[in-house]
């Protein structure tokens, strides 16, 4: 510590206190000092010179597997803020000690990246300082790259369409899942809160607490590239995705009333008499999402385990079929059961209606729209594996499928800008 005296206006004697600042990556620590001078053109700095040693010696690249540290070694100076961001705009999360003596990164650095670190400080008299430095990280030694494929394809969908993320490598460890999840960014306009849910070791789904807003734009991207996920596994490149939502279309089928009611943007626009699954073949209850629209489908009972030649066997040419499960549940034209539509449930699980009504429904819904069934004796639509039953999990259970649920209080990914927080 050095004390510098000078005379300001009126001959008043003042003292400026310098602060020693250490920037370290792993074992590399080098100190340097700076005297503040309010008469100089440059503002007070925490350090006039920052040099690196150890893993980040001059001319060498930093080890991305080691944390970034900023330390104020002089008790008369303190760190007030640190930001570290790479050339692609990814911020490094970090924690700042309550006394301003130390900041350290809490999220991993990317390999093969160039970082800019901005350190704000103040001395014992409150004089501010600022230091900006840059460094690069080396190439990873890992042999595997974790790539992410987002779905669905770019386009316009209904408000029930979840976003999916398929990984090319399994991720089982919860801490590693948290690294992946923090790097998968979903932004919507209008903004809504949402969360990822791990379906299995290689698949995640993202949905808001409620349905997406109508006419929203949803942008999805991965910030995993170069980030260490686990031993010999780092994030690879991934293609971003933009989708949009159309009108809010919800088709509510009351199996007990034998009626399907279509709402568009909160207004009822059509009621359709229908038939649903008869005893032993009950239609699933719950929320389903339109998966596809198929103008013509040949439906055979053998594909769902009904033996040919039995009393329940069938082989039908079906038109205007709107698929809601992968196992074969549709909303479709059923001209053979028009006499029962609106009065009785006689199907093998599908929602049947007249050909004219099926064509209207087919023409007025899109992939991602909601088809909900109530008052059926059937089981509830499963959340995963047979389509998109994601909305059948309440928000608490959905959030429980996130690797970030337990550390949400410390998760900087919850904020728009990752910056140090006091501990």
Residues marked as catalytic: 332, 350
DSSP E strands in 141-202: the ranges are 144-146, 148-151, 155-157, 163-167, 184-189, 194-200
Q: 285 has which bridge partners?
A: 380
Q: Distances from the Cα of 397 to the Cαs of 34, 209, 212, in angstroms?
A: 54, 11, 19
What's the DSSP call for residue 309?
T
Q: Which helix (H) or strand (E) holds 396?
A: helix 395-400
For the chain, give me the number of helices (H) and strands (E)? 3, 31
Angle (CA) 201-206-211 rounded to 5° is: 150
- Residue 254 near residue 245, CB atoms below 8 Å: no
How many alpha carbons fall within 13 Å on the CB side of residue 317? 0
Helix (H, G, I), strand (E, B), or coil: what is residue 241?
Answer: strand
Beta pairing class for 163-167 and 249-254: unpaired
Beta pairing class for 241-245 and 217-222: antiparallel
CA 62 to chain centre: 29
Rg of the chain, C-alpha, whole Å: 30
Residue 62's CB is within 10 A of a number of other CB atoms, namely 23
């Amino acid at each position: 510590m050095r004390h510098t005296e000078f005379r300001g206006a009126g001959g008043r004697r003042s003292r400026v206190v310098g602060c020693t600042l250490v920037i370290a990556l792993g074992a590399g620590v080098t100190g340097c000092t700076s005297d503040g001078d309010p008469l100089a053109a440059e503002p007070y700095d925490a350090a006039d010179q920052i040099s690196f040693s150890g893993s980040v010696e001059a001319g060498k690249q930093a080890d991305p597997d080691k944390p970034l540290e900023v330390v104020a070694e002089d008790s008369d100076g303190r760190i007030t803020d640190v930001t570290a961001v790479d050339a692609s705009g990814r911020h490094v999360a970090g924690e700042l000690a309550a006394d301003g003596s130390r900041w350290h990164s809490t999220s991993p650095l990317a390999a093969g990246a160039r970082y800019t670190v901005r350190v704000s400080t103040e001395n014992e008299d409150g004089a501010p300082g600022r230091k900006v430095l840059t460094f690069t990280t080396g190439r990873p030694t890992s042999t595997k790259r974790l790539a992410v494929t987002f779905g669905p394809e770019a386009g316009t969908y209904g408000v029930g369409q979840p976003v999916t993320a398929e990984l090319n490598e399994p991720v089982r460890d919860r801490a590693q899942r948290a690294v992946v999840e923090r790097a998968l960014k979903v932004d919507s306009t209008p903004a809504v809160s949402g969360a990822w849910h791990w379906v299995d070791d290689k698949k995640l789904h993202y949905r808001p607490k409620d349905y997406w807003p109508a006419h929203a734009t949803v942008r999805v991207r991965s910030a995993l590239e170069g980030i260490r996920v686990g031993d010999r596994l780092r994030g690879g490149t991934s293609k971003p995705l933009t989708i949009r939502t159309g009108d809010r279309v919800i088709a509510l089928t009351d199996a007990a009333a034998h009626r399907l009611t279509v709402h568009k943007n909160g207004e009822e626009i059509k009621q359709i008499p229908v038939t649903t699954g008869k005893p032993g073949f009950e239609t699933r209850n719950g929320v389903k999402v339109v998966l596809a629209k198929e103008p013509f489908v040949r439906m055979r009972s053998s594909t769902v385990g009904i033996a040919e030649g039995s009393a329940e066997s069938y082989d039908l040419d079906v038109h205007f079929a709107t698929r809601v499960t992968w196992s074969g549940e549709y909303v479709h034209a059923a001209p053979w059961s028009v006499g029962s539509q609106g009065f009785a449930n006689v199907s093998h699980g599908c929602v049947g209606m007249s050909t004219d009504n099926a064509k209207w429904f087919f023409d007025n819904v899109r992939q991602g729209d909601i088809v909900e069934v109530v008052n059926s004796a059937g089981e509830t639509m499963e959340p995963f594996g047979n389509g998109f039953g994601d909305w059948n999990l309440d928000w608490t259970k959905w959030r429980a499928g996130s690797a970030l649920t337990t550390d949400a209080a410390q998760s900087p990914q919850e904020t728009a800008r990752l910056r140090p927080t006091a501990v």
